Amino acid sequence: MSEAAPATPLRERAGQALQDTFLQQALTIATTKFIGLRREAFGEFPEGEALRDQARAIKEATLQRLDHWIERLVDSIEARGGHVHYATSAEDARRIVLDIARRTGARMVVKSKSMATEEIHLNSALEAAGITPVETDLGEYIIQLAHERPSHIIAPAIHKTKGQVAELFERELKRPAEPDPEILTAIARAELRQKFLDADMGISGANFAVAETGTVVLVTNEGNGRMVTSLPRVHVALMGVEKVVPSMTDLAVFLSILAKSATGQKLSVYTSLVNGPRRGGEMEGPEEFHLVLLDNGRVRQIAGPLRESLSCLRCGACLNVCPVYRQIGGHAYGYTYPGPIGILLTAMLNGTESVKDLAHASSLCGACADACPVRIDIPRMLVELRKEVDEQRIAPWPERVVFGAFGWLLRRPALYRLSAPLGRLLQRPFVRAGAIRRLPLFFGQWTRTRDLPPVAARTFQERWADLEREARP
Amino acid sequence: MTTRAEFLTRIRTEMGRTRGLFQASPSPRPARPRERLELLRRELSERWPENLDRFTREFERVAGVLHRVREAREVPDVIARIAAERGMRSVVTWHGAALGVDVAGPLAARGLETSAAPDVEVAADERVRRRALAARADLGVTGVDLAIAETGTLVVVSGAGRPRSTSLLPPCHVAIFDRDALVASLLQAGLVLEAWHEGTPPATRGASINFITGPSRTADIELTLTRGVHGPKEVHAVFVEQGLPGVRRG
């Protein structure tokens, strides 16, 4: 178990999000924009559909020989003078990074955006060891100054207004700031430029690692990934084991679809291929290069029910189309990874117990599976998680009782037919203007934020029987 | 601490327990990428005007500015004009051999404060000095190892005489290229990358390969597109029609 459970229940977290009118507006604007841009990008790219299939096949093939490709990657990196470390748990990973920082005398660390470092809560570990981590992706920088966590995989600060950012900069940076994105960005550029030049160590994630060539690949729009991997004297990349791809040919396939899925760009501004430490004659580049391979629950899923989610590229497309994410945003999920894929990743990293509520935070509409560039069947796995939550008896008891009774009834057609007239009788005191607006006892949970449609005056079965009678000669 | 052997054993144990796999294979790789690349180059050499058009369209879509000149010796004029229009004074450039054209001399002669990267190993304190120079410079001039038409992307390979910071730290980046750098698609760029890595990779080049698609950008504050957050605010590409004979690529 690597992440602490949120302090408040999902219902409360979601409730707060639903009352936050700015958040509601920001989510609608952001997700709608991302959906449109993504659709446009693939619309202009007819070969995209075949490449999505190919990308999925590459992920699957790599997983089927993961030991081979990891060994190949390690050998290639070591042949270039890089170092590879193995972290089974989040704690292992933190200890490895801290050891490197201490040994090289690092006091200040610049970081480029990395969900893997968020997942292991690296920043608080660095701070506890007296090392200052500086997030350099603008969105991450904002939420670091605000002591918050990302609310979207690729747009971490979409929940903040420019006014809030200006106030934050004035308070934390002691600089006059105006609520204008252009001015705020210029302030961040000036602040962070000096940090890049002064930092002792750069920490990044990795979007991919190419086994054949020992290449760690970073995709960014701002250029902070290039700074972090080029300017400090030590570079540490932290990467989940599932990010390895066999060859440069494979990499080109993923690059063709990743940015289109994430932001609708044909390619992100910077795709950086990092091949180990500085070489002779180079003006910049780290003297030391380290790759930390992270398991943290992933390896167990090679043969587990969440195997498919090991193909995830972390593009965020499934968040943007999810009717639940679009309402409650990233923070309400309560863990590092939000959205439909986030529920699966949370279960992977923290165990099924951690998603006993979250497993239900989906309408199972299937939009996520359609949007996923590698066609991960997220709804299928969510249903399986619900089943597991039920079997492990960690679902709340009223839910288990109600669904148990419903299942029992469905298996008995004669009784089921009787249930309609019985329901019509029982609902009579509660129906107001064609809807049930309030139910007593714990059933009231259901009607707290929505109406329950009453049992119809004539059910489908009853109407069907009527029709058959009429059709008879 | 987990060792390589323990880590791999855990992976193999789980792989052994996996059931119901479907047939899947990675992308077929060219057996001799360099030969394949030669073939491709011959094809591309006939289609370069069409690839340049596509490149120009896509490059402009991502806010790049394309300039065309006939001969290499006109390049310094273009750079000097860009600098003059913006009141820029200082320039850092790649080494002349990596550019395929001498720009440092002519730019200095036009009164710009110019510094070209050496193409040999220099001492650590000299590297620090030069990095500080790049951090203060107004304009960085690089070559281009690959230009991808489909996406409007410039690819630069780091190495001796080709500092990474030249295309990163100054607020304005100018890249010089010719028809030989053009490929049509990202998938073709994949073949070029395979060819670069075939056999023994060069000892002094390729530690960092960067695909650059327009100026640095962010939309992290209320989704408002803002350029030049960490990298350059402007990216210019200068196309030399008659080519850059003798330029060292990849």
In this predicted model, what pLDDT tens digit does every residue of A353-402 receive, in sequence order? 999 999 999 999 999 999 999 999 999 999 999 989 888 877 677 778 88
For residue B236, pLDDT over 70 is answered with yes
Statement to judge: residues A261 and A410 lie in one domain = no
| Domains and their CATH numbers in chain B | 32-240 (3.40.50.10420)
- What b/e sequence results for B184-203 when a residue is b if at least 16 CB atoms lie within 10 Å of its CB, and e otherwise? bbbbbbbbbbbbbbeeebee
Give which of A270, A274, A291, A296 to mutate to test B binding, by max B Cβ within 10 Å. Answer: A270
Tell me whether residue A333 is in a domain.
Answer: no
Distance from CA of A177 to the nearest CA of B (A): 14
3-class secondary structure for chain B?
CCCHHHHHHHHHHHHHCCCCCCCCCCCCCCCCHHHHHHHHHHHHHHCHHHHHHHHHHHHHHCCCEEEEECCHHHHHHHHHHHHHHCCCCEEEECCHHHHCCCCHHHHHHCCCEEEECCCCCCCHHHHHHHHHHHHHCCEEEEECCEEECCCCEEEEEEECCECHHHHCCCCEEEEEECHHHEECCHHHHHHHHHHHHCCCCCCCEEEEEEEECCCCEECCCCCCCEECCCCCCEEEEEEECCCCCCCCCC
Nearest CB to A221 within list B16, B210, B218: B218
Spell out which residues of chain A touch residue B187, defining contact as CB-CB under 8 Å: 252-253, 256
Statement to judge: residues A291 and A152 lie in one domain = yes
> CA-to-CA distance for A401 and A406, rounded, in angstroms?
9
Nearest CB to A278 within list B194, B207, B224: B207
Distance from CA of B189 to the nearest CA of A (A): 7
Global pTM value: 0.93
Tell me whether residue A326 is in a domain.
Answer: no
Give which of B220, B225, B234 to mutate to test A binding, by max A Cβ within 10 Å. Answer: B220
Extract the tokens encoding B42. 């011959």
How many CB pairs below 8 A link A and B?
Answer: 283
Three-state SS for A300? Answer: helix
Burial class (CB in 10 A: 0-12, 13-18, 19+), A293: buried
Q: Which of A277, A296, A315 is the last residue of a domain?
A: A296
Distance from CA of B22 to the nearest CA of A (A): 8
Cβ contact A185–B215 (<8 Å): no
- H helix or E strand, kind and range, residue A380: helix A378-391
Tell me whether residue A357 is in a domain.
Answer: no
Q: Mean pLDDT across the stretch B175-187?
A: 97
Q: Is-contact A136 B200, C-beta < 8 A?
A: no
Distance from CA of B219 to the nearest CA of A (A): 8
Spell out which residues of chain A touch residue B231, defining contact as CB-CB under 8 Å: 222-223, 226, 269-270
Nearest CB to B194 within list A189, A248, A265: A248
Spell out which residues of chain B touch residue A66, defining contact as CB-CB under 8 Å: 11, 15
Cβ contact B17–A155 (<8 Å): no
Tell me whether residue A327 is in a domain.
Answer: no
Three-state SS for A410? Answer: helix
Predicted pLDDT at B201: 64
Nearest CB to B217 within list A64, A193, A269: A269
Q: Which of A238, A273, A296 is the last residue of a domain?
A: A296
Statement to judge: residues A72 and A186 lie in one domain = yes
Angle, nearest 10°, between helix axes A138-145 and A181-198?
A: 90
Predicted pLDDT at B200: 65
Closest residue in A to B148 (Cα) is: A267
Q: Mean pLDDT across the stretch B27-50?
A: 93
Statement to judge: residues A278 and A404 lie in one domain = no
Domain coverage including residue A457: 397-471
Q: Is-contact A286 A234, C-beta < 8 A?
A: yes
> CA-to-CA distance for B247 and B250, rounded, in angstroms?
10
Give percent above pLDDT 90 in chain B: 88
* Count of structural domains, chain A: 2
Statement to judge: residues A277 and A411 lie in one domain = no
Distance from CA of A361 to the nearest CA of B (A): 26
Cβ contact B161–A281 (<8 Å): yes
Statement to judge: residues A287 and A405 lie in one domain = no
Tell me whether residue A383 is in a domain.
Answer: no
Spell out which residues of chain A touch residue B212, defining contact as CB-CB under 8 Å: 269-270
Statement to judge: residues A158 and A288 lie in one domain = yes
Q: How far are the Cα atoms of A159, A244, A269 from residue B220, in angstroms, in the given order?
A: 10, 28, 15
Tell me whether residue A319 is in a domain.
Answer: no
Distance from CA of A394 to the nearest CA of B (A): 26
> CA-to-CA distance for B138 and B173, rounded, in angstroms?
9
Cβ contact A279–B10 (<8 Å): no
Cβ contact B230–A192 (<8 Å): yes
Q: Which of A296, A314, A332 is the last residue of a domain?
A: A296
In this predicted model, what pLDDT tens digit does every residue of B110-139 receive, in sequence order? 999 999 999 999 999 999 999 999 999 999
Which CATH number does the domain housing residue A219 bear?
Answer: 3.40.50.10420
Nearest CB to A222 within list B122, B205, B216: B216
Cβ contact B151–A267 (<8 Å): yes
Predicted pLDDT at B23: 85
Closest residue in B to A138 (Cα) is: B220
- E strands along A40-152, which residues? 83-87, 108-111, 132-135
Cβ contact B27–A253 (<8 Å): yes
Spell out which residues of chain A touch residue B168, defining contact as CB-CB under 8 Å: 223, 226-227, 230
Tell me whether residue A350 is in a domain.
Answer: no
Q: Mean pLDDT across the stretch B52-72?
A: 98
Burial class (CB in 10 A: 0-12, 13-18, 19+), B102: middle
A413: Cβ contacts below 8 Å, ≥ 6 apart: none
Statement to judge: residues A274 and A144 lie in one domain = yes
Three-state SS for A217? Answer: strand
Closest residue in B to A112 (Cα) is: B230
Q: Mean pLDDT across the stretch B209-231?
A: 95
- Could you say which residues of chain A have pLDDT below 70? 1-2, 395
Nearest CB to A282 within list B148, B158, B210: B158
Tell me whether residue A39 is in a domain.
Answer: no
Statement to judge: residues A288 and A408 lie in one domain = no
Cβ contact A248–B135 (<8 Å): no
Spell out which residues of chain A touch residue B152, defining contact as CB-CB under 8 Å: 266
Nearest CB to B229 within list A30, A71, A185: A185
